[in-house]
Structure 1
Amino acid sequence: MAQLPVVVVGDVATDVVVLLSGAPAPGSDRPASIRSRGGGAGANVAVHLARQGVPTVLAGCIGDDAPGAGLVAELTEAGVDARLRVVPGAPTGTIVSLVEPDGQRSMLADRGANLELRPSDVPAPAPGGHLHLSGYTLLDPRPRGAGLAAVAAATAAGCTVSVDPASTGPLRGYGVDRLLGDTAAATLVLPNADEARLLTGCADVAAAARALAARHRIAVVTLGAEGALWASGDALVHRPAHPTTVVDTTGAGDAFAAGLLGAWLADPDGDPAAALDAGLVRAAAVVRRPGAR
């Protein structure tokens, strides 16, 4: 039986990846390698799903500009059904990723047209399909209505729903209780360790995973170099990260989410360890080179 399309709702952006060299040099010059690539949390997950052969629809917004047109072409080439509304007068989103020599990065975000997402921009899900929602959609008042409408429509259609909480800074400003309420219907949540602690108030990440699994059917917590945890019911499964050389961690969480979702959707009752490994393999491949894909 053919797999129903996964509908991904989230940002589309150009990533400007700045690989920094040497020591910080305030007020002076610092060597860097600078490249522009396709990015955005929603687009990244959609591309990684499509590369696994998963039929994928991406709902989002771009500006009426050359970067937006280029991103549509890139997504289409990757096999994504890009349902992106063009917003006149708004720039396509741009993310500047500053990557330190150890691979850690900080992000400068201009979300641009992504903030104009409307409920009507999200296609009606196929009954019994899957919706993946980037938490960034909920964390700003302008696209929040589209995110809430997408979850409500998917739930009404009997779809499974996954949510990535996005980032601790915006999440803290938005409000933990508010986000927990917004995502109560999610089947699966995909926070990193810091997000899981913030969402639950648990200092211990295993306890945080169990607390989230008490709210949702499945909670999967990424642990960076320590791998990932799967919590569901009484089960708690850990898998270590796959050995790799870290160049840039940008997009690792998106790659992990897509790898895990591809395996889980293909076999919802399968081995959680196998689903974790599928995500960790894809994340390890991404961090070996600059960019999110």
Structure 2
Amino acid sequence: MTAPQVVVVGDVCTDVVAVLSGVPAPGSDRPAAIRSRGGGAGANVAAHLAALGTSVQLVGCVGDDPAGAGLAAELSAAGVQLALRAVPGAGTGTIVSLVEPGGERSMLADRGANLDLRADDVPTLAPPTHLHLSGYTLLDPGPREAGLAALAAAVQAGCTVSLDPASTGPLAGYGIDRWLADTAAATLLLPNAEEARLLTGCRDTGDAARALAARHAVVAVSLGAEGALWAAGSELTHRPAHAVDVVDTTGAGDAFAAGLLSVWVAAAGRPDPLAALDAGIARAATVVGTAGAR
């Protein structure tokens, strides 16, 4: 087995996606199209990278149940190298995503076995391998030590590291100052607009991107229908989104990260910003037009 270009550390889950025919109807019924698919932020990024031809290994945990075995088989068939530990007695993570008309979604998370990730689950890293760390790994006390250890080990080894802040609610609970201190060594930060503004206190997303670029070598901010921003030093680059009929935004950020990372690793961490943003936006566009993250 060849050494992976990217090692992804993050969650593996089953996504139960309910696309509602209208706004929720508390106390009553609402027709919906419901599908069960592979998900989890880490698994999504890894699957998209493999589809783009990037050699990738996924590190994470699943339950010792049929769901975990099925997700592992799906990811392996997609070309992802697996370093998944089956946790005895634990259930594989499950995310229920309620998608309203227009694509906005609310997620209910039972992370299951993902919370059992340990530092020794992460393999030894060496350049030119790149580490992508899902922020969800840091946002719960269970896997936090493993995530922080992976980040520190990758930086010490001289690897580049990308990090997705994951979600504004848990991020605020973690503590902004604490997050900024714990993740300062990441090379590439991949927030969405709300996360960038939360991390900086800036109202303007461009100002937020510049502020974060004072802490990290590169910051790429996904803006949904408005495209994406690249900030590095004093440079700020914007690319527009593709025109697409949005069905479900679940996993769009993961797809964006994978598209951008495919260009990042091909360019040995020195990509053309326009090419990197365009690749991320193009991959995200393939996701939002259908239900599910991949």
TM-based fold match above 0.5: yes
Residue 157 of structure 1 deviates from its aligned partner by 1.1
CA contact (8 A) 2:5 2:265 kept: no
CA contact (8 A) 2:164 2:189 kept: yes
What is the distance in 2 between the residues matched to 1:70 and 1:121?
20
- The residue number in structure 2 matching 1:222 is 222
Residue 265 of structure 1 deviates from its aligned partner by 1.5
Higher mean C-alpha deviation, range 122-131 or range 67-76: 122-131
What secondary structure, in the 3-state scheme, does the structure 1 residue paired with 2:57 have?
Answer: strand
- The residue number in structure 2 matching 1:258 is 258
- The residue number in structure 1 matching 2:57 is 57
Amino acid at match of 1:117: L
Higher mean C-alpha deviation, range 30-39 or range 123-132: 123-132
Measured against aligned partners, the alpha-carbon deviations of 1:99-153 in whole angstroms (never above 9, x if no partner) come to 0011110000000000000000111112332000000000111100000110111
Residue 270 of structure 1 deviates from its aligned partner by 3.3
What is the distance in 1 between the residues matched to 2:71 and 2:28?
34
What is the distance in 2 between the residues matched to 1:138 and 1:270?
27
Distance 1:90-1:275 versus aligned 2 partners, 3 A rule: same
Pair 1:241 & 2:233 matched: no
- The residue number in structure 1 matching 2:27 is 27
What secondary structure, in the 3-state scheme, does the structure 1 residue paired with 2:24 have?
Answer: coil
Measured against aligned partners, the alpha-carbon deviations of 1:210-247 in whole angstroms (never above 9, x if no partner) come to 00000000001111110000000111000000111100
- The residue number in structure 1 matching 2:288 is 287
What is the distance in 1 between the residues matched to 2:25 and 2:75?
37
- The residue number in structure 1 matching 2:195 is 195
Equivalent residue runs for 1:1-293 within 5 Å = 4-267=4-267, 268-293=269-294
Q: Where does the alignment leave 5 or more consecutive residues of structure 2 unmatched?
A: none
Residue 28 of structure 1 deviates from its aligned partner by 1.1
How many residues are aligned here? 292
Distance 1:3-1:277 versus aligned 2 partners, 3 A rule: farther
Measured against aligned partners, the alpha-carbon deviations of 1:48-79 in whole angstroms (never above 9, x if no partner) come to 01111111010000001000000000000010
Percent of pairs identical after alignment? 73
Residue 26 of structure 1 deviates from its aligned partner by 1.7
CA contact (8 A) 2:13 2:38 kept: yes
CA contact (8 A) 2:4 2:57 kept: no
What is the distance in 1 between the residues matched to 2:53 and 2:75?
14
What is the distance in 2 between the residues matched to 1:236 and 1:24?
39
Amino acid at match of 1:156: Q
CA contact (8 A) 2:41 2:254 kept: yes
TM-score by length of 1: 0.98
What secondary structure, in the 3-state scheme, does the structure 1 residue paired with 2:155 have?
Answer: helix
